[in-house]
Structure 1
């Protein structure tokens, strides 16, 4: 049975606060009249009122003894009855009449009146793409509420969801099993056979994770994909099975071992294994492309290092050549006659090594005097050649544009793999490469013919392949990250009906001309206002060189009243351990309800809430199960903690648990003094990793080896969403994903970031999504301002503008831009998937160029506002300071394992960051509850506390939190109810 706690099935709150009672259970005048017309005695009227208001709140009729005492007291007071009046016990026939009259009054149908068919139909449609019973139950609840049908008992929905889910999944299992031959079934079963107790089953080889980027691991990855291709399974076997179902079945198989899979029926076992193999192939192709890109980047880095070594080696010869030239000039100065001067110069050259030696030195210096390291790459590429050629034979590469020059060049290299000559004989289209590469690989003969160097051409082709894989100009069939993004977009025929409604929601014109005109007019208006206000601004100065300079403004000091309040709160905070905080917040928000087996069944562990709290503490504080178990005094074993993490928790469940805390936090009064929730800031912080995984890399900006936790933090201080990303990725790629994947009650429409959180395509996409991107850009004055119109001229700020916005390009590709945006909003493609490709330069991709053109206009609009609005600059600084403070606050609780994420599995790395967010948000929530309690106590003691004093506070307080020692847990200890309201004197 699915846990009711993990569904949206309405239930009474155990301790509803006064505000909730007033909002949900106070009868209106019409309802009081209805109650009076249908019941006579006070007890019966109270019973009828309880049934009416409970039904409005829950959608079904509860038993009277299930109604909380607080609700009974509130309704009794609303009916103006004395305390002696109790709800009357009514006979079944009268209860049935009450039910009928309430349904008629509220215009709601009984579940027996067609509700079963409605719920079954909704679950059946959802089961094609969903699998968790709790999700299916939520779909049924939503549809029943929409159709104004009474909800049945939870057990009825649970049975229905399981029955339909079993039916739908059983059809998929039978469909797949029918396509398998007897031999294929046996080969799948052989994957679960362990012939030697000391050797792992073949199943574990399918789950193999990629290691760090190296030539040996590159070769091992090719061996792995070759082994996967030899296993059973093809697209034919999984045809008609939705990709979301494939992912869920694969995820279920991934956390099971061979013995557990053998316990399943043959059809289900075979289906799960096939989906696991399918997903392993997809992921390995992605990993292979990623490792190839990293290896090519490594070759270029080694080439640049070699260039620097050669420059250092020839520096002494350069100085000698310069000294020789200086002596030659002096000879010419002393000897005005050509004969004497020539004789003296020849003698001088002879003493310096002779003509041939000096010429050789000059040639060597000339060869390495520029910044071109490309001629030096061949010796480093040579060791990779066989591996890379094997890779391009195994991967099915395709061009995503009409330009096939790179694909043709790869085919030429493969056809001439064993050729030995230095030069290519066939003509080659070099349209795919850069001018510097063309200069490097081509050589003009004395007869004026142009020849291409075979070896350097090969290096050039695969360097270009790495770049075009990143930009999306070349795709890998059968992959996910490097697939053709065009196939993931909604067809325009499906976008067109959605266009008008979407444009109305985000406030954009619904036509290309209207869109361009509106944006151009706004840019011209802001430019005019900036120009007119330049002299009064006083904060920005534009020099003769056209570069603006902003004067620094002093930060506001905290007032004496705010400092006194902060000190008073710190002195009164009650000491708490992290586990106690997690338990308290679990009671208040019920966040552990989202954890449970991936199959969706009810928990099969004793004391689930206690286990979930301890697991969140173990992984959120990075202790690891072994170390945590040693300090828990037998409360949980290392195996139990590891089992719960592996089998009951995934990234989505952690995000849902965080959402519960955020939603409860949004209802508190104190955070509203810090922000309105309409702004968020994004920033990354590095976490150390072991190096045996593909995600980890060195990043000079963060000064270390690891990955980046990229946080989105509300202006109310709570963390809304986090990603775990590689160090080398431009962080702006994920800035929009964090807002779109945030499903909490706090929904910001403005996002701040630092320089890494913006780029021209990101500005363009944010504008189309109705998101205001307002970053704090380092060296912003070096960015180009784009003129709104080529004829526009300004008295004071004209020197800022370097280029014109390409409005024609935006208008031409407006439909393509809107197709991308509607595909993102519908969930067909992630914003990060698209921005990862649009974040890399592409001369071929006109969509990339259109997004850059749009971003140029939007970023110029922002920069003009930035230099002319001091208050905006202060808001941006304040918001980015909050996310930077959150980075340190969350790491304070990541104290175990020396702060190193020890797992090499990318899924577990992502979970580690989300666990840490869960712990950090729980402490933030608990701190705000405590601060609210203390402020109210101080006010009752006579303190005069102003909103300005409270606005200077922060929930990032750690002085009262105990991190170390023996960890004890008591989930049965109920915390006192927390207070929401906080009324301050104006």
Structure 2
């Protein structure tokens, strides 16, 4: 609809043809894609045939977790729970007993000493002289938001006046500074010896976590499955190294798939994410297409995968001759002519996202909702249907691939549990009513969660180094099963006494708290 902001052509949000002409070659080089339609389709057909060949071998076995029944229908057995080695369970219990106990205030002071994340909170008016009490006030504000106590309760708990806390929150704590502080923690966490054992950093996942709300809010919605009354969702992005690099507050009833790419494309960390896992709520054909066009791999865990429609690129008889078992599963033929005709427009769409010309959530939402008369949306969905077929064939034929996706999604769930432990006050109900305030609280929670993960990872590393120095053999394969997303050694409750200098004095000459063992190096 010409002149409409809501119903306009999605192509109106893309780079102009003139600008795209000058950036096409650079984009294709960055994502490893060819601008030639024939070359692009040939490469995708080769990937499809390779994936179908692997699936054919899996189905030929006939008795595995992925097989065909007597009627020729696909049977997918549920993935069994991961068999965590007993050695890993015992080692985690031993390391947890070695870690020191620390109040959450002490933990934040200690992490600031090594990362300087509190220095990222700058005055909104620009450079200002920083008072000696500023760090104390910032920690109190961060805890008031991340524990859901609020500034009034925090003022009573820590002895800092409400006016001081409110002034600090107003001038220093905002999304910009919270993101910068979070980057400082993630950067430090990446350099820890134990971090590389958890993962390479190239795999991440995203999932929504729902919180109840109190009072009226433009983002709150009634959803009886999750809330007694109303609530909202925070959509978070987590790396395979257990850190959270993205947080976004969304309406609980809105589809999560629209927001999957936002934080990946806006990722300001040094984490080289190339593959991303989601659950069923994060999947659309548009996402499958855009991930591939951007040089990324979408690896979701789709519920009822055996019931989705799979596509082929050629005649049915040709596919059946090449793949007698897997071929009948491909019930529809993709419109490759439409994909080839709009190859440049598809690349321009991905380039507009890559170069920050438009946000992914805006375009994904509009293109997912577009009717078939929109040629660009139709071509994108045909492209996505082929990419989903390649993914499904690979997922069904590779048990290790299925396990990797499940393990990564479980890491996100463990961080959700840690956040629920942190956000204990007022029964975990968000009381902020405006989106800006809710976003700031969500980022405070993410920041403190990452501080806990970083602190635990570092002390786990010290404990492992202590055991190895004493002659104990500890394999990295065993350590990979241990998650730092836990709070057994951290006290979130009790009195809150923010004494920066006093806490630093307790660290001793090593700069660390002593481990709870005898005859160790620390």
Q: Same fold (TM over 0.5)?
A: yes
| Cα distance, 1:484 vs structure 2 | 6.2
Q: CA–CA distance in 1 between the matches of 2:225 and 2:133?
A: 45
The alignment status of 1:694 with 2:218, answered yes or no, reads yes
Q: CA–CA distance in 1 between the matches of 2:59 and 2:383?
A: 26
Match of 1:754 in 2: 279
Match of 2:206 in 1: 682
Taking a change above 3 Å as real, the CA distance of residues 700 and 543 of structure 1, as seen in their structure-2 partners, is farther
Match of 1:524 in 2: 49
Q: CA–CA distance in 2 between the matches of 1:829 and 1:553?
A: 38
Which of 81, 91, 103 does residue 577 from structure 1 map onto? 103
Q: CA–CA distance in 2 between the matches of 1:543 and 1:682?
A: 34
Structure 2: give runs of 5+ residues left out of the alignment.
514-522
Which of 76, 90, 99 does residue 550 from structure 1 map onto? 76
Match of 2:188 in 1: 664
Match of 1:560 in 2: 86
Q: CA–CA distance in 2 between the matches of 1:640 and 1:911?
A: 18
Q: Secondary structure at the residue paired with 2:339?
A: helix
Contact 2:258 2:361 in 1 (8 A): yes
Contact 2:58 2:66 in 1 (8 A): no
Match of 1:742 in 2: 267
Match of 1:789 in 2: 314
Contact 1:524 1:788 in 2 (8 A): no
Taking a change above 3 Å as real, the CA distance of residues 749 and 555 of structure 1, as seen in their structure-2 partners, is same
Q: Secondary structure at the residue paired with 1:504?
A: helix
Q: Secondary structure at the residue paired with 2:300?
A: coil
Q: Secondary structure at the residue paired with 1:509?
A: coil
Which of 954, 961, 964 does residue 493 from structure 2 map onto? 964
Q: CA–CA distance in 1 between the matches of 2:43 and 2:105?
A: 54
Which of 114, 117, 121 does residue 591 from structure 1 map onto? 117
| Cα distance, 1:939 vs structure 2 | 2.2
Q: CA–CA distance in 2 between the matches of 1:961 and 1:907?
A: 29
Q: Secondary structure at the residue paired with 2:212?
A: strand
Task: List per-residue Cα deviations over 1:81-106 (Å, max 9, x = no partner).
Answer: xxxxxxxxxxxxxxxxxxxxxxxxxx
Taking a change above 3 Å as real, the CA distance of residues 700 and 853 of structure 1, as seen in their structure-2 partners, is farther
Question: Rg bigger for which structure?
Answer: 1
The alignment status of 1:639 with 2:163, answered yes or no, reads yes
Q: CA–CA distance in 2 between the matches of 1:646 and 1:547?
A: 60
Which of 336, 343, 363 does residue 814 from structure 1 map onto? 343
Match of 1:891 in 2: 420
Match of 2:35 in 1: 510
Q: CA–CA distance in 1 between the matches of 2:54 and 2:86?
A: 39
| Cα distance, 1:703 vs structure 2 | 4.5
Contact 1:596 1:603 in 2 (8 A): no
Match of 2:469 in 1: 940
Contact 2:10 2:367 in 1 (8 A): no
Which of 484, 492, 497 does residue 22 from structure 2 map onto? 497
| Cα distance, 1:606 vs structure 2 | 5.1
| Cα distance, 1:958 vs structure 2 | 0.8
| Cα distance, 1:582 vs structure 2 | 0.8
Taking a change above 3 Å as real, the CA distance of residues 644 and 832 of structure 1, as seen in their structure-2 partners, is same
Contact 1:929 1:978 in 2 (8 A): no
Taking a change above 3 Å as real, the CA distance of residues 545 and 906 of structure 1, as seen in their structure-2 partners, is farther
| Cα distance, 1:545 vs structure 2 | 4.8
Q: CA–CA distance in 2 between the matches of 1:523 and 1:585?
A: 48
Contact 2:276 2:298 in 1 (8 A): yes
The alignment status of 1:610 with 2:150, answered yes or no, reads no
Taking a change above 3 Å as real, the CA distance of residues 777 and 700 of structure 1, as seen in their structure-2 partners, is farther
Contact 2:314 2:333 in 1 (8 A): yes
Contact 2:218 2:434 in 1 (8 A): no
Taking a change above 3 Å as real, the CA distance of residues 670 and 863 of structure 1, as seen in their structure-2 partners, is same
Match of 1:541 in 2: 67
Q: CA–CA distance in 2 between the matches of 1:818 and 1:855?
A: 13
Structure with bigger helix share is 1
Taking a change above 3 Å as real, the CA distance of residues 532 and 724 of structure 1, as seen in their structure-2 partners, is same
Task: List per-residue Cα deviations over 1:476-498 (Å, max 9, x = no partner).
Answer: 5xxxxx77654432112111222
Contact 2:58 2:67 in 1 (8 A): no
Q: CA–CA distance in 2 between the matches of 1:536 and 1:831?
A: 42
Task: List per-residue Cα deviations over 1:439-488 (Å, max 9, x = no partner).
Answer: xxxxxxxxxxxxxxxxxxxxxxxxxxxxxxxxxxx535xxxxx7765443
Match of 1:709 in 2: 234
Which 10-residue stretch deviates more, 639-648 or 797-806? 639-648
TM-score (norm 1): 0.49
Contact 1:631 1:966 in 2 (8 A): yes
| Cα distance, 1:560 vs structure 2 | 3.4
Q: Secondary structure at the residue paired with 1:901?
A: coil
Q: CA–CA distance in 1 between the matches of 2:370 and 2:69?
A: 31
Structure 1: give runs of 5+ residues left out of the alignment.
1-397, 401-473, 477-481, 980-986
The alignment status of 1:779 with 2:304, answered yes or no, reads yes
The alignment status of 1:766 with 2:295, answered yes or no, reads no
Which of 794, 799, 824 does residue 328 from structure 2 map onto? 799
Contact 1:545 1:799 in 2 (8 A): no
Match of 1:864 in 2: 393
TM-score (norm 2): 0.92
Supply the RMSD in Å over aligned alpha carbons. Answer: 2.0
| Cα distance, 1:551 vs structure 2 | 2.9
Q: Secondary structure at the residue paired with 1:720?
A: strand
| Cα distance, 1:536 vs structure 2 | 3.5
Q: CA–CA distance in 2 between the matches of 1:544 and 1:652?
A: 58
Taking a change above 3 Å as real, the CA distance of residues 850 and 570 of structure 1, as seen in their structure-2 partners, is same
Q: Secondary structure at the residue paired with 1:475?
A: coil
| Cα distance, 1:557 vs structure 2 | 3.1
Taking a change above 3 Å as real, the CA distance of residues 637 and 779 of structure 1, as seen in their structure-2 partners, is same
Task: List per-residue Cα deviations over 1:710-743 (Å, max 9, x = no partner).
Answer: 1111111111111111111110111111211221
Contact 2:352 2:358 in 1 (8 A): yes
Q: CA–CA distance in 2 between the matches of 1:959 and 1:698?
A: 34
Q: CA–CA distance in 1 between the matches of 2:130 and 2:499?
A: 20
Q: CA–CA distance in 1 between the matches of 2:348 and 2:78?
A: 43
Q: CA–CA distance in 2 between the matches of 1:799 and 1:699?
A: 40
Match of 2:480 in 1: 951
The structure showing larger relative contact order (alpha-carbon pairs under 8 Å, at least 6 residues apart) is 2
Which of 472, 475, 499 does residue 5 from structure 2 map onto? 475
Q: Secondary structure at the residue paired with 2:53?
A: helix
